[in-house]
């Protein structure tokens, strides 16, 4: 509320009184309103609605050409307004002020909120006296800081009094009182907004009604339980005593939470003493601190620590108080960023470009139009008297004028113009305007890839809580270019502790900053990210080619192109996730409303494979983020570079820290740590079936976390003789050799009708011979290197087993001779029998496995196609639509292609049956993997 009402003796402002002296109203009330603020303005308007006569409004003088809202509202109603900077001079009433007051002929003074000393000549000058609002249950907490002391003293009840002003200190008779409970999470602001403000406005009007009716009591205040508390607008009273139990520390901080803030002093290592103010306190359930960095408060005998969650202060009882925000000078920052912000303050100020100087001029003009003062670097928005509506106006005008995404919190964290300007310019530079993404400085370790007529900087550290950081003990792993087997760079090798840091960051973001981002704003961030990916698509495709061996043209179209499509598709879903109402049968005569809510799960972990590094990330993460979750992703150990570049783009797009985190490293360590982590509530995995089984077991044993699995495949492709043979050959080759065979839905076994078998094989081999094998960055290349050496060796072993078991190797089966790099020849096996190893197991490489069939026994053909523990995809080529639909109906696979193959789309659900896993990527169905359904039943 600010300072309460005062008189010469500093008069100040819940059971409604029912006894005491009652006035007999003889004359119509002529009311003078003395006060300020929205509270007083609402009291004025409510009294007018009740047909009371307001003869004058007396308020404070204008501040920086801005008048108080009470004056503005009064003038709108044609009420005389008087503005005084003071009512007294040297303790004596100012004659001209008294004269102006007496000129309105008021017989009742209503003081709903007043920060000035009002002479007793005015207080007693009205025939029916003066009534004051005071935010406490008098006689408790007399004085100027009543609400604060209600919280500081740990009172279980709060409330307000409307009393008759006298020459004492908030000691006049009580007219009316009301009470409310004090909750554990109440602050000065919440008490004010929940009860003291709305109920107080109504009660002031109620009190005037009682006076008008002659029924207003005057109940003398008792001295029992009376207290007068020090005024907290005096700085010496704002210092926090840290040597007391945690609950007392907590109560003091929340009692000063809005204004001015609990004051204490940080002792720096170099001896400097830094005054700070503390906000956003809560009692912590923690009993110990792990990974907390010590901070020393002057005079405190107990330890204090800084973590990402905030500053933790130890009370004398050993309990902890968490502080979320801290103010140094004029700037409020997240308490958990204390040490980072210290480094920031030492940074060199921004040097503005010519364009940015123009933006500075625009920004200054907006500030000036709102504050009506000249704007300099030290101009404090709130110290100039700005209110909540001014904040909204500033934010909206800046967003519209400069096209930069800011919110109210931006201003609260940088209230001085110079700081606000730097924040806006940094956001513009970081990709929040038409030139987005072009000027971010490289303040992280990186490797520069010089390829494809480009120089591309790629981060090599972990990405945790919005920052690139080294792994624990700075451990790294080498990343190898499969085209020449040379080391590209070393990237961070995450430990279990690193994974825990990332999960904690995601958890804090989910419970904190991410909750303040609306579903529509989430979608806008995702659209912005997709746009940045579009702008950097050539860079991303180049990285994908160098890191994973993907053919550049394919990487551009599929690896990157479909990734962008996924982010755009799910951006559109972000604000369309809905529950439903359900008709139920209540017990009469009651009525029941039952509805469901779709809610995000929380922290989700994603573990993605090496065949489509960016696309697998996007397929899963876009749905995960659209649903409102936060995420930690572990990309494949052997090719994590596009994931790290992607992390950089999320910063440029404006994603809050902690929402997206990337931990690189091994599956056995980092991946296992994610599966085991109790704070991870969902795990999405794409990889092999054996690893998927181990992860499922870990998910169950850790915390029964939800999981979705896209695992191995041995997809059957059936080619009937009545097909379009040329198309069947072309797409049959693609079904196997697409992306070097490193494709989860690759056709693992082709069933070709005996009538066309030989011709089909001849055409396939002729087609293979025309495929160019070589550098994936060469635009003419059709077949690049396998992803890594271990996989190449596995393919060689796979072919050896096929030959040993009697399958006929018609082409390939070995490493490309006389070529450096991990190149494996496109391979064709025929005469493959159902019992053979290569007929049952996935190669995950460019190996075509062909078996004949006779069309006379359709049932036997389907049985052969289903004779596998995998059920990811399938395909059929035939001109007979009835045959095609019969096959689609009976094949045990999550996807069925008819007269096509590899035709996936972001809107079509993708996932397998049996040991190919469960759950869906893509389409609307994928959202359900990252949502939980809550059912709410209301009886009325």
Is the alpha carbon torsion for 160, 165, 166, 167 positive or negative?
Answer: positive
d(CA 483, CA 546): 7
Binding-site annotation: residue ranges for NADP(+): 634-637, 667-672, 687-688, 794, 842-844
Beta-bridge partners for 938 = 593
CB of 289 within 8 A of CB of 307?
yes
Among residues 760, 730, 753, 734, the alpha carbon closest in space to that of 745 is found at 734
The catalytically annotated residue of 419, 539, 710, 929 is 710
Q: Are 725 and 760 in contact (CB under 8 A)?
A: yes
- The tokens describing 848, both together, are 């075509």
Active site residue 531: no
What pLDDT does 625 receive?
Answer: 98
**In which residue are the tokens 């985190």 written?**
661
List binding-site positions for (6R)-10-formyltetrahydrofolate: 116-118, 170
206-229 in b/e form (b: 16+ CB < 10 A) is bbbebbbeeebbbbebeeeeeebb
* pLDDT score recorded for residue 430: 59
- The confidence score (pLDDT) of residue 389 equals 72
Rounded alpha-carbon distances, angstroms, from residue 618 to 533, 563, 719? 11, 5, 33
What is the rounded distance in angstroms from the CA atom of residue 786 to the CA atom of residue 477?
20
| H or E stretch at 148 | helix 146-152
Contacts of residue 576, Cβ cutoff 8 Å, sequence gap at least 6: none
245: which residues sit within 8 A by CB, 6+ positions away? 315, 316, 317, 319
pLDDT of residue 21: 44
Strand partners, 134: 161
Q: Tell which CATH classification among 3.30.70.1520, 3.40.605.10, 3.40.720.10, 3.30.390.50 matches the domain 459-710.
A: 3.40.605.10
Please say if 180 is a catalytic residue.
no
Contact 603, 632 (CB under 8 A): yes
Kindly name the residue from 52, 134, 446, 536 that is annotated as catalytic: 134
The third-level CATH classification (topology) of the domain covering 235-337 is 3.10.25
CA distances from residue 903 to 560, 900, 907 in whole angstroms, order as listed: 16, 7, 12
| Identified catalytic residue from 624, 639, 699, 744 | 744
Cα 501 to Cα 514: distance, rounded to the nearest angstrom: 17
Alpha-carbon distance of 734 to 765, in angstroms, equals: 13
Q: What are phi and psi of 820, to 5 degrees?
A: -70, 155
566: preceding bond cis by omega (within 30 degrees): no
- What is the predicted pLDDT for the residue at 343? 58
pTM above 0.75, yes or no: no
Cα 457 to its chain centre, rounded Å, is 27
What pLDDT, on a 0 to 100 scale, did the predictor assign at position 64?
67
Q: What is the CA angle 104-105-110, rounded to 5?
A: 85
- Give pLDDT tens digits for 406-447: 877 788 778 889 889 988 988 787 554 333 333 344 468 999
Q: Provide the annotated binding site.
A: 116-118, 170, 634-637, 667-672, 687-688, 794, 842-844
Query: If we measure between CA atoms, which residue out of 11, 3, 295 comes closest to residue 131?
Result: 11
Element (H, E) at 15: none
Q: Are strands 847-853 and 827-830 parallel, antiparallel or unpaired?
A: parallel
Tell me the domain boundaries of the chain: 30-213, 235-337, 359-430, 459-710, 716-911
Could you identify the residue written with the tokens 């809050």? 656
Q: Which of 920, 797, 917 is nearest to 869 (CA)?
A: 917
The reply to whether 378 belongs to the active site is: no
Which DSSP state fits 627?
Answer: T
Question: Within 13 Å of residue 933, how many CA atoms lie on the same side as its CB?
Answer: 11
The per-residue b/e assignment along 551-562, b for 16 or more CB within 10 angstroms, e otherwise, is: bbbbbbebbbbb
Asked if residues 240 and 249 have their Cβ atoms less than 8 Å apart, the reply is yes
Residue 649 pLDDT: 96
Buried b (16+ CB within 10 A) or exposed e, 399-437: eeebebbbeeebbebbbbbbbbbbbbbebbbbbbbeebb
Going by their DSSP bridges, the two strands 454-459 and 446-451 should be labelled as: antiparallel
**Number of Cα atoms under 13 Å in the Cβ half of residue 508:** 20
Low-confidence ranges of the chain (pLDDT < 50): 1-25, 345-347, 432-442
Architecture of 30-213 per CATH?
Answer: 3-Layer(aba) Sandwich (3.40)
Contact assessment for residue 260 and residue 277, using Cβ atoms and an 8 Å cutoff: yes
The CATH classification number of 359-430 equals 1.10.1200.10
Q: Which two tokens stand for residue 777?
A: 């960055």
Contact predicate 607/687, CB 8 Å = yes
- For 858, the token pair is 């359709």
Residue pair 176/162 in contact (Cβ under 8 Å)? The answer is: yes
- The DSSP string of 372-437 is -S---TT-BTTTTT--HHHHHHHHHHHHHHH-----HHHHHH--BHHHHHHHHHHHHHTT-STTTT
Cα–Cα dist 413/415, whole Å:
6
User: Which of left, alpha, beta for 368 (phi over 0: left; psi -120 to 50: alpha)?
Assistant: alpha
Query: Hey, is 604 helix, strand or coil?
Result: strand
* Alpha carbon distance 341, 361 (integer Å): 27
- Tell which phi-psi region holds residue 216, choosing left (phi > 0), alpha (psi between -120 and 50) or beta: beta
Predicted local distance difference test score (pLDDT) of residue 393: 83
Q: How far apart are CA 777 and CA 727, in angstroms?
A: 27
Specify the DSSP class assigned to residue 908.
S
Per DSSP, which regions of 837-890 are E strands? 847-853, 870-871, 873-877
CATH topology for 716-911?
Answer: Aldehyde Dehydrogenase; Chain A, domain 2 (3.40.309)
């Amino acid at each position: 509320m600010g300072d309460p009402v005062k008189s010469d003796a500093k008069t100040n402002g819940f059971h409604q009184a029912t006894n005491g002296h009652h006035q007999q109203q003889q004359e119509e009330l002529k009311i003078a309103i003395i006060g300020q603020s929205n509270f007083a303005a609402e009291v004025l308007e409510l009294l007018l609605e009740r047909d009371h006569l307001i003869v004058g409004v007396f308020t404070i003088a204008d501040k920086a050409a801005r008048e108080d809202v009470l004056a503005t509202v009064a003038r709108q109603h044609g009420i005389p307004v008087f503005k005084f900077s003071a009512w007294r001079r040297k303790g004596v009433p100012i004659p001209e002020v008294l004269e102006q007051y007496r000129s309105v002929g008021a017989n009742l003074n209503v003081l709903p909120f007043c920060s000035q000393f009002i002479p007793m000549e005015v207080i007693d000058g009205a025939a029916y006296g003066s009534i004051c609002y005071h935010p406490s249950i008098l006689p408790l907490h007399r004085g100027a800081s009543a609400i604060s002391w209600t919280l500081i003293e740990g009172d279980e009840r709060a409330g307000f009094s409307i009393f008759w002003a006298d020459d004492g200190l908030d000691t006049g008779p009580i007219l009316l009182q009301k009470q409310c409970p004090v909750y554990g999470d109440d602050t000065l602001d919440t008490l004010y907004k929940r009860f003291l403000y709305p109920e107080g406005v109504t009660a002031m009007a109620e009190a005037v009604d009682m006076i008008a009716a002659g029924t207003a009591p005057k109940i003398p205040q008792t001295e029992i339980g009376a207290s007068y508390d020090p005024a907290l607008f005096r700085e010496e009273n704002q210092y926090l005593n840290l040597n007391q139990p945690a609950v007392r520390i907590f109560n003091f901080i929340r009692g000063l939470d809005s204004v001015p803030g609990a004051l204490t002093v940080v002792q720096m290592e170099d001896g400097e003493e830094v005054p700070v103010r503390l906000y956003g306190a809560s009692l912590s359930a923690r009993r110990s601190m792990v990974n907390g960095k010590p901070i020393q408060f002057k005079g405190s005998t107990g330890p204090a620590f800084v973590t990402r969650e905030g500053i933790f202060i130890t009370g004398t009882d050993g309990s902890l108080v968490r502080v979320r925000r801290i103010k140094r000078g004029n700037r409020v920052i997240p308490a958990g960023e204390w040490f980072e912000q210290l480094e920031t303050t030492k940074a060199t100020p921004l040097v503005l470009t010519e364009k940015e100087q123009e933006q500075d001029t625009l920004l200054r003009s907006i500030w000036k139009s709102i504050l009506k003062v000249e704007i300099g670097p030290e101009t404090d928005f709130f110290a100039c008297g700005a209110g909540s509506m001014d904040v909204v106006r500033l934010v909206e005008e800046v967003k519209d004028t400069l096209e930069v995404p800011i919110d109210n919190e931006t201003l609260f964290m940088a209230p001085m113009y110079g700081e606000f300007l730097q924040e806006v310019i940094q956001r513009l530079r970081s990709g929040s305007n038409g030139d987005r993404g072009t000027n971010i400085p490289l303040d992280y370790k990186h490797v520069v890839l010089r390829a494809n007529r480009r120089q591309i900087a790629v981060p090599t550290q972990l990405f945790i809580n919005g920052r690139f950081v080294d792994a624990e003990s700075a451990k790294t792993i080498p990343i190898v270019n499969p085209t020449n087997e040379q080391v590209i760079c070393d990237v961070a090798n995450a430990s279990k502790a690193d994974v825990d840091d990332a999960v904690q960051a995601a958890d804090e973001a989910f419970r904190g900053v991410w909750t303040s981002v609306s579903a529509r704003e989430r979608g806008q961030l995702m659209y912005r990210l997709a746009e940045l990916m579009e702008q950097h698509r050539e860079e991303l495709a180049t990285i994908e080619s160098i890191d994973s061996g993907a053919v550049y043209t394919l990487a551009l179209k599929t690896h990157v192109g479909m990734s962008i499509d996924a982010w755009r598709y799910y951006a559109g879903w972000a604000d369309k996730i809905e529950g439903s109402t359900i008709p139920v049968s209540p017990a009469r005569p009651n009525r029941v409303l039952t509805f469901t809510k779709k809610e995000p799960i929380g922290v989700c972990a994603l573990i993605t494979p090496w065949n489509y590094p960016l696309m697998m990330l996007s397929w899963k993460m876009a749905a995960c983020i659209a649903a409102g979750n936060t995420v930690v992703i572990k990309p494949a150990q052997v090719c994590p570079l596009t994931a790290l570049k992607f992390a950089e783009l999320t910063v440029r797009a404006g994603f809050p820290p902690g929402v997206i985190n990337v931990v690189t490293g091994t599956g056995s360590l980092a991946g296992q740590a994610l599966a085991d982590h109790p704070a991870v509530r969902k795990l999405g995995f794409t990889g092999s079936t054996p690893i998927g089984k181990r992860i499922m077991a870990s998910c169950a044993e850790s915390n029964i976390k939800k999981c979705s699995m896209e695992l191995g495949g041995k997809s059957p492709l059936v080619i009937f003789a009545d097909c379009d043979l040329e198309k069947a050959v072309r797409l049959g080759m693609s079904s196997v050799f697409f992306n070097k065979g490193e494709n989860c839905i690759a056709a693992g076994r082709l069933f070709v009708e005996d009538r066309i078998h030989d011709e089909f094989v001849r055409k396939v081999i002729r087609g293979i011979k025309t495929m160019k094998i070589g550098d994936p960055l060469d635009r003419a290349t059709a077949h690049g290197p396998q992803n890594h050496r271990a996989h190449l060796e596995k393919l060689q072993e796979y072919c050896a087993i096929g030959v040993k078991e009697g399958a006929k190797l018609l082409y390939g089966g070995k490493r490309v001779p006389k070529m450096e790099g991990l190149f494996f020849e496109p391979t064709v096996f025929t005469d493959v029998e159902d019992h053979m190893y290569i007929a049952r197991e996935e190669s995950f490489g460019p190996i075509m496995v062909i078996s004949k069939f006779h069309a006379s026994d359709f049932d036997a053909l389907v049985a052969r196609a289903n004779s596998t523990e995998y059920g990811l995809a399938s395909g059929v080529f035939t001109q007979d639509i009835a045959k095609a639909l019969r096959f689609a109906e009976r094949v045990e696979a999550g996807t069925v292609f008819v007269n096509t193959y590899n035709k996936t789309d972001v809107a079509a659900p993708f996932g397998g049956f049996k040991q190919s896993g469960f759950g869906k990527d893509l389409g609307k169905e994928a959202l359900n993997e990252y949502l939980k359904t809550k059912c709410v039943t209301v009886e009325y």
